């Protein structure tokens, strides 16, 4: 089923309103039997519970009409097999009307037609693959990949072995838009490389420093070694750390023109090329714009959720949302520059392998519609 199918399914609605154990068991069993529907199922839950929609308020008369339509459509006639639905539906529906109003875009229960909006078209870019460059050797991986430095080689989770540069000579991992990669370094530090990123790393760290070079975004768990500090170096700043978990966004073309370092745990110091320096504590973000540094307290999950397979937004400007989706799915959106500058998005979007599901979720979050077109240029 697609997201729309869940949101118009009476059993799903009853369960979302009542959260009863029988319903939970039913849907758990359903997902086990239909694993392909898992992503749409979770997206439907987020749309139902977590998303704030920009909808005009209904009058009391419209509420009564909508309530009657819900009752007629979702409360079944007499019947033993569905008697529990009649028993549980009346009160939860009344309590959940505000939510149902919001997702009326899917349920189509209102009497008035919604305003016709020209869709924003997402054009799919040319598909490119992840590249691992080791000296004169170049390896290409189809789809996302998980790599590990193992002695003088680099291995993938399928058992493939790739000859790496010897000693401290640097290898290059290029992750294009539409792809992601994981990499375990020789010291055991584990990192996630986001779409549109390039990382240079040695086969083996030597001496008193451990340094990697980044263009783009990574999340990294650094193995502690007090005798050998770890440094992430970018074109604008460096991040120095002994052992910690943090996210570095250094694309250079972010929505607000600022790069970011977000600290999950531990302690890091950030230094610009001109020597300006700042230290971070957990749950802090450092915004970097040229030589300007500014700290703020943040919910770190908003900035690191991408590695868990979803994006989290909290009153995030739509242009920023589309920029993040553009990187992940290698899309270019039409009309992006014409969107209302005040339009924001709140909620969570699971990064489904089917981009249509993601844009269906986004359509429910905002007063816009989207469609995908192949780029034939």
Residue 78 DSSP one-character state: S
The answer on 283 and 179 residing in a single domain is yes
The answer on 330 and 286 residing in a single domain is no
- In this prediction, residue 171 carries a pLDDT of 93
Residues 266-304 pLDDT 10s? 999 999 988 999 999 999 999 998 889 999 999 999 899
The answer on 317 and 252 residing in a single domain is no
Report if residue 331 sits inside a domain.
yes
Chosen domain end from 76, 107, 138: 107
Task: Please give the Cα distance from 259 to 251 (Å, whole number).
Answer: 7
Report if residue 114 sits inside a domain.
no
Chosen domain end from 303, 320, 354: 303
What is the CATH classification number for the domain harbouring 346? Answer: 3.55.50.30
Sign of CA dihedral 71, 366, 218, 163: positive
Sign of CA dihedral 357, 359, 362, 368: negative
Under the banding of pLDDT at 50, 70 and 90, the label for residue 43 is confident
Question: 88, 85, 67: which is closest to 77 by C-alpha?
Answer: 85
Answer whether residue 220 shows pLDDT above 70: yes
The answer on 99 and 11 residing in a single domain is yes
Answer whether residue 54 shows pLDDT above 50: no
Residue 223 DSSP one-character state: P
- In this prediction, residue 306 carries a pLDDT of 92
Report the mean per-residue pLDDT for the chain: 76
The answer on 180 and 286 residing in a single domain is yes
The answer on 269 and 163 residing in a single domain is yes
> Which phi and psi (to 5°) does residue 194 adopt?
-80, 170
Cα angle 70, 72, 75; round to 5? 85
Residues 321-353 pLDDT 10s? 888 888 888 877 765 545 566 778 777 777 766
Q: Which residue has the higher pLDDT, 163 or 165?
A: 163
Report if residue 177 sits inside a domain.
yes
What is the CATH classification number for the domain harbouring 139? Answer: 2.60.120.1440
60 CB neighbour count, 10 Å cutoff:
7
Cα separation values, 247 from 107, 149, 276, 298, Å: 39, 21, 20, 13
Report if residue 112 sits inside a domain.
no
The answer on 229 and 156 residing in a single domain is yes
**Is-contact 120 334, C-beta < 8 A?**
yes
User: What does the pLDDT average to over 119-132?
Assistant: 69
The answer on 286 and 177 residing in a single domain is yes
Question: 9, 85, 86: which is closest to 45 by C-alpha?
Answer: 9
The answer on 280 and 182 residing in a single domain is yes
Answer whether residue 254 shows pLDDT above 90: no
Report if residue 54 sits inside a domain.
yes
Residue 95 DSSP one-character state: H
> Which phi and psi (to 5°) does residue 245 adopt?
-125, 130
Report if residue 236 sits inside a domain.
yes
The answer on 336 and 367 residing in a single domain is yes
Kindly report the pTM of this predicted structure: 0.67
Task: Please give the Cα distance from 211 to 234 (Å, whole number).
Answer: 11
Q: Which residue has the higher pLDDT, 268 or 13?
A: 268
Residues 133-155 pLDDT 10s? 998 889 999 889 999 999 888 99
First to last CA, the chain: 33
Strands 292-297, 197-202: pairing is unpaired
Total domains in the chain come to 3
The answer on 96 and 12 residing in a single domain is yes
Task: Please give the Cα distance from 307 to 328 (Å, whole number).
Answer: 11
Supply the range of the domain harboring residue 58: 3-107
């Amino acid at each position: 089923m697609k997201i729309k199918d869940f949101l118009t399914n009476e059993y799903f609605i009853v369960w979302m309103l009542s959260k009863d154990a029988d319903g939970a068991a039913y849907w758990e069993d359903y997902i086990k039997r239909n694993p392909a529907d898992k992503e749409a199922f979770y997206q439907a839950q987020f749309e139902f519970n977590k998303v704030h929609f920009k909808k005009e308020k209904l009058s009391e008369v419209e509420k009564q009409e909508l309530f009657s339509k819900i009752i007629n459509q979702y409360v079944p006639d007499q019947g033993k097999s569905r008697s529990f639905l009649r028993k549980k539906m009346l009160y939860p529906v009344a309590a959940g009307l505000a939510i149902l109003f919001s997702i009326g875009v899917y349920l189509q229960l209102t009497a008035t037609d919604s305003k016709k909006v020209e869709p924003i078209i997402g054009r799919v870019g040319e598909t490119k693959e992840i590249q691992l460059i080791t000296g004169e050797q170049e390896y290409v991986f189809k789809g996302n990949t998980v790599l590990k430095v193992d002695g003088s080689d680099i291995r993938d989770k399928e058992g493939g072995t790739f000859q790496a540069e010897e000693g401290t000579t640097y290898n290059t991992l290029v992750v294009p838009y539409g792809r992601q990669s994981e990499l375990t370094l020789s010291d055991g530090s584990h990192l996630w490389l986001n779409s549109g990123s390039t990382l240079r790393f040695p086969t083996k760290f030597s001496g008193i420093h451990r340094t990697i070079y980044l263009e783009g975004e990574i999340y990294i768990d650094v193995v502690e070694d007090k005798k050998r500090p770890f440094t992430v170096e970018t074109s604008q700043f460096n991040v120095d750390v002994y052992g910690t978990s943090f996210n570095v966004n250094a694309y250079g073309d972010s929505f607000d023109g600022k790069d970011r370092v977000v600290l999950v745990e531990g302690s890091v110091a950030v230094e610009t090329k001109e020597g300006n320096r700042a230290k971070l504590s957990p749950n802090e973000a450092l915004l970097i714009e040229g030589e300007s540094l500014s700290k703020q307290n943040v919910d770190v999950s908003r900035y690191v959720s991408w590695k868990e397979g979803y994006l989290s937004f909290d009153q995030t400007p739509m242009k920023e949302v589309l920029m993040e989706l553009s990187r992940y799915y290698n899309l270019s959106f039409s009309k992006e520059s014409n969107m209302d500058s005040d339009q924001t998005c709140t909620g969570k979007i699971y990064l489904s392998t089917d981009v249509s599901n993601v844009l269906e979720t986004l359509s429910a979050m905002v007063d816009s519609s989207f469609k995908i077109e192949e780029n034939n240029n």
